[in-house]
């Protein structure tokens, strides 16, 4: 009887050690990516990137600027115009600008669009500077919720699957490597994925990038059909390098139909002053 009792104690003790919570995974991620103190001390991020569009035989230059709770701006060149498009979100409003464009599919005039109140609230997470995957850091204080949804392999790497729900209802699913706690993949709704790849202004300038072209409804055989805004897209991250002692991915890829978008982060500056001109809607 004593042996059975001892065996049961060992079993439950082992089970409790093995049991992993979502906070265990997120805390491991935070520690492996610089630690909470270092990530929380980031007040600004400036990232210069380049997107290779092999199908079009060109590249797009992208610059992003973040100042904690004050500014998000993404500026990008375009293969179809001479000017640059941009998205800017401050603590009061958000705007997108798309220059006049000429392409085989048609021409558009330059346009400046102000965010609706709903769009502005949905974009506020982009002003968060606490590392490259800032929503995971101090997520409870931000009013977010997180759930651990088992494990899954991403390109052969075993990952913990963390579903993060923002206080606006947006969902982000992070695949975090069990080996080194790096984010290997992020699965988000199509509009968010395009925003993260530097296509925010282009997407909004062309009527939301298509997410409203196919409304929810009945598909074939009566099955429920989801609108494009609900369609999830995966962004994969690799080639991590240290910047100020914090690992950042320097390559991210997204498969968009037959086209693969590859974004390479060439320069990452942390806690350097942000030029005030990036606040301006121009």
Domain segments of the chain as ranges: 21-211+235-279
Residue, of 77 and 180, whose pLDDT is higher? 180
Residue 93 CA to residue 119 CA, distance in Å, equals 10
Mean pLDDT of 77-105: 83
Half-sphere exposure of 107 (CA within 13 A, CB side): 3
- Read off the pLDDT of residues 101-131 as tens digits, 9 standing for 90 and up: 776 556 778 889 999 999 999 999 999 999 9
Helix boundaries (H) for the chain: 2-18, 22-32, 36-40, 117-123, 190-196, 200-205
Residue 262 CA to residue 49 CA, distance in Å, equals 10
The pLDDT-based confidence of 227 (bands split at 50, 70, 90) is: very low
The pLDDT-based confidence of 16 (bands split at 50, 70, 90) is: very low
Q: What pTM was computed for the model?
A: 0.83
Q: What is the DSSP letter of 196?
A: H
- Read off the pLDDT of residues 200-224 as tens digits, 9 standing for 90 and up: 665 655 554 433 334 444 444 444 3
Among the CATH numbers 2.50.20, 3.30.70, 1.10.15, 3.30.300, which is that of 21-211+235-279? 2.50.20
pLDDT of residue 125: 94
pLDDT of residue 195: 84
- Read off the pLDDT of residues 186-205 as tens digits, 9 standing for 90 and up: 999 988 988 888 776 656 55
- Read off the pLDDT of residues 49-75 as tens digits, 9 standing for 90 and up: 998 876 666 788 999 999 999 999 999
């Amino acid at each position: 009887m004593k042996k059975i009792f001892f065996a049961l104690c060992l079993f439950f003790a082992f089970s409790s050690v093995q049991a992993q919570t979502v906070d265990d995974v997120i805390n491991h991620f935070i520690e492996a990516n610089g630690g909470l103190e270092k990530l929380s001390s980031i007040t600004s991020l400036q990232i210069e990137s380049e997107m290779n569009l092999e199908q079009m035989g060109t590249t797009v230059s992208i610059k992003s600027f973040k100042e904690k709770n004050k500014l998000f701006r993404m500026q990008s060149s375009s293969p179809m115009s001479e000017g640059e498009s941009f998205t800017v979100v401050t603590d009061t409003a958000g705007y997108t600008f798309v220059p006049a464009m000429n392409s085989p599919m048609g021409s558009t005039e330059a346009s400046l669009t102000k965010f609706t109140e709903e769009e502005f609230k949905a974009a506020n997470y982009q002003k968060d500077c606490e590392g490259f995957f800032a929503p995971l850091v101090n997520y409870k204080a931000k009013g977010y919720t997180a759930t651990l949804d088992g494990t899954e392999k991403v390109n052969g790497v075993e990952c913990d699957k963390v579903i993060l729900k923002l206080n606006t209802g947006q969902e982000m699913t992070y695949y975090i490597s069990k080996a080194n706690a790096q984010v290997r993949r992020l699965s988000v709704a199509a509009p968010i994925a395009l925003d993260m790849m530097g296509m925010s202004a282009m997407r909004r300038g062309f009527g939301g990038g298509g997410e409203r072209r196919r409304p929810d409804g009945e598909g074939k055989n009566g099955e429920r059909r989801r609108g494009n805004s609900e369609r999830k897209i995966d962004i994969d991250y690799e080639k991590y390098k240290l910047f100020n002692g914090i690992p950042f991915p320097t390559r991210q890829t997204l498969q968009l139909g037959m086209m693969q978008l590859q974004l390479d982060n060439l320069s990452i500056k942390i806690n350097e002053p942000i030029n005030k001109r990036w606040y301006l809607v121009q």
